[in-house]
Chains A and B, each alone.
Chain A
Amino acid sequence: MRLQSLLKIALLGIIATQLTTVPAQAASQISISEKSIQVPIYGSAQSSYGKSLRIVSLANGGAEVIVALGLKSKLVGRDIASTFTGDAKIPIVTQAHAVSAEKVLAVRPTLILVNPGTGPLSALKQIKSAGVKIVNIPEVYSVDGMQAKYLAIITALKISKTDPVAQKLLNSIPLPETSTTTASQKPTVAFLYLRGTSGIYLLGGKGSGADALIESAGGTDIGAQTQKTPFVPLTPEALVAMNPSIILLMQKGLESVGGLTGLLALPGLSQTQAGKTQKVITVDDSLLLAFGPRTGELINKLSLAIKALQ
């Protein structure tokens, strides 16, 4: 009898504390899609490789640099993360994110651009042993690093640095932000990397790439201020303590949690300022961290979005 009544009380208690409701407020989400930003084409650069050149780009943001240099016709393969308007005819030669030697060799490339982290190494070795030239391009997640990346690609493609098209490309790199706004007036933005509702957030943090974009767009990356390494699995409470006023997500990240409703249902999110006011910016996955010719326009759009949500 005693046990039964205890259980009854416990049950009633649990039911009584059911579900706190989220106050309904005007939603304010801004999404920046790939379609809205075209890859600028600066002319047609002259490569001393001539007509024989067939490029596969597996380096982050490499494919769109080649397009910007006017060499789209030479681009015969790309990695799965390189998507941009007009990419449809260029075959993807990776299996998910892993390089497939067979798919690469099938497009008969003469030059392959990779990042130091591109793999598996066994696939790259197979490609090399087939006599294809592989060039390493620095993997860049900051605006500052873009020049080194562009120069590495220009050199790999045997384009003269004085080529007017190459010059235009190099001059297109966005300048560092010169706004006079003090840090305390800038809205705080947290970049969350989400893949499915497994209850664990990966916080962008310092060096994620999003930190550079957010700062250039006039926001403060609150994640980079608290975490010294990129992509830290974050506890819900740490997110609340950080209290960002805007959440930045990749488009597919938002979809993977089931959209805005799913996002707000993640523990901790609805207790942040951004969650309460539903201020969310999404950017297409490959656009966000490409650090290529579209990045300048992306920063402009991001800056407008942050101002609009401020």
Chain B
Amino acid sequence: MRTKHFVLPLIVLLLALTGSIALGGVAGSPAEVFTALIRHDHSTLSQVLWNIRLPRVLLAMLVGAGLSLAGALMQTMFRNPLADPAILGISSGSALGLVMALLAGLEFGSISASFCAVLGGLFAIAIISGVTRRKGAVSADTSTAGFVLVGVALNAFIAGALGILLSATSNPQARSISFWTLGTISLATWKGLTSVALFFVAGLIVISLVRTKANLLALEDYEIRILGANPSKLRFTLAIGSAILVASATSIVGVISFVGLITPYAIRLVVGPNVKLLLPIAALWGSILVLISDTLARTLIHSMEIPIGTILALIGSPIFVWVLVKRVRA
């Protein structure tokens, strides 16, 4: 049963990976691309593949996996299918943390800057948890719409803070507002990829600490305690894990919405709520979604770069509304 769920995404991922490595502004037949990849010489195609396309493709996969994992974790943590890092303001929180770090003189893509992004993400999670918490239980009885409204308010507040910071500075590292709102994977370098990968691994390690107990979060807090686990500690650990995943992605590609929402939501419908199966499958499909979206972003219109956020928003927002309407009516 378990392997069945892995076969399809692995095949799709392999196809998407092959396709996105083969396609791009510097064109070549599949055979030429393959030779250029193997040779790794000074030809234009080889240079483009090794310096631009490969890091970008790998970064897209990593970011997709990280955001989707974080979404799945937060949906479990908050027991709410609309918990998406971008919608709740965790991504913007990371962005705010990062912009402040950059303005303080840290370098874009450095580990210390990404660390500040993690702090920003944690700050946002703390606010969301604090506001939606009722008698020790997080959001169990907060309505779905109410939950999203807190996210709207938090996002608006952070957007305001970011706006002020960005307009008050001429620091080129702080990037443009469209980077922070729509995201782009075009800045992929091996260095940035390494930083994201390190944090991704760190996030995975944190999550794996409580992986066996994460399923308990579907229960009420007193039931979790009866079963010998500490619900607050469990949530805290998962919050740190997801903040690390979101922040590391955000610190290189900006805020990318909807991946953390639609992927885990759809996967949960298919594989069920068991975290042990949900997390890896959601990560795989998240990888596929961002990889395909980014390939579209750079190839849909010849030589034109479309922000990946616009593509994901076109796919994601109708699904988001559909889920919201379904939940509110129920």
Contacts and interface: CB of A to CB of B under 8 A. Distances in A.
A175 to B, nearest CB: 34
A276 to B, nearest CB: 10
Interface stretch (A12-20, A55-63, A185-193): A12-20
Given A240-B25, A241-B303, A268-B52, A235 B298 contact: yes
A240 B174 CA distance: 25
A145 interface: no
B44 A243 contact: yes
Interface in A123-149: none
A23 to B, nearest CB: 11
A237 B194 contact: no
B47 A271 contact: yes
B305 interface: yes
A273 B191 CA distance: 23
A198 B185 CA distance: 10
Interface in B266-315: 298, 302-307
Interface string A235-246: 111111101000
Contact of B190 (A11, A19, A237, A257): A19
B173 A197 contact: yes
A198 B304 contact: no
Given A196-B176, A232-B303, A235-B186, A20 B50 contact: yes
B123 interface: no
Given A195-B176, A241-B303, A200 B47 contact: no
B179 to A, nearest CB: 4
A196 B194 CA distance: 23
Contacts of A237: 24-26, 48, 52-53, 298, 303
Interface in A193-246: 195-201, 226-227, 232-241, 243
Contact of A234 (B52, B190, B305): B305
**Chain A, interface residues (CB within 8 Å), range:** 35 or more
A20 B190 contact: yes
B307 to A, nearest CB: 8
Nearest to B189: A267
A199 B184 contact: yes
B257 to A, nearest CB: 17
B193 interface: yes
Contacts of A233: 304-306
Interface in B135-184: 170, 172-176, 178-179, 184
A7 B201 contact: yes
A197 B172 CA distance: 6
Contacts of B197: 10-11, 14
A235 B301 CA distance: 10
A200 B52 contact: no
A18 B191 contact: yes
Contacts of B174: 196
Nearest to A10: B197
Contact of B304 (A10, A11, A235): A235
Contacts of A234: 303-305
Nearest to A252: B170
A270 B108 CA distance: 19
A174 B187 CA distance: 41
Interface of A: 7, 10-11, 14-15, 17-20, 195-201, 226-227, 232-241, 243, 255-258, 262, 267-268, 270-271
Given A18-B190, A237-B26, A257-B172, 20 more contacts: A10-B197, A10-B201, A196-B174, A197-B108, A197-B175, A199-B179, A201-B305, A227-B303, A233-B304, A235-B24, A235-B298, A236-B25, A237-B24, A238-B304, A240-B47, A241-B25, A241-B44, A241-B303, A262-B172, A268-B48
Q: Across chains A and B, which 4 residue pairs bring their CB atoms closest together, nearest first?
A: A237-B25, A238-B303, A238-B25, A199-B187
17 contacts: A7-B201, A17-B190, A18-B191, A195-B176, A197-B173, A198-B176, A198-B179, A199-B179, A200-B178, A200-B305, A235-B298, A237-B25, A237-B303, A238-B304, A241-B25, A241-B27, A241-B303
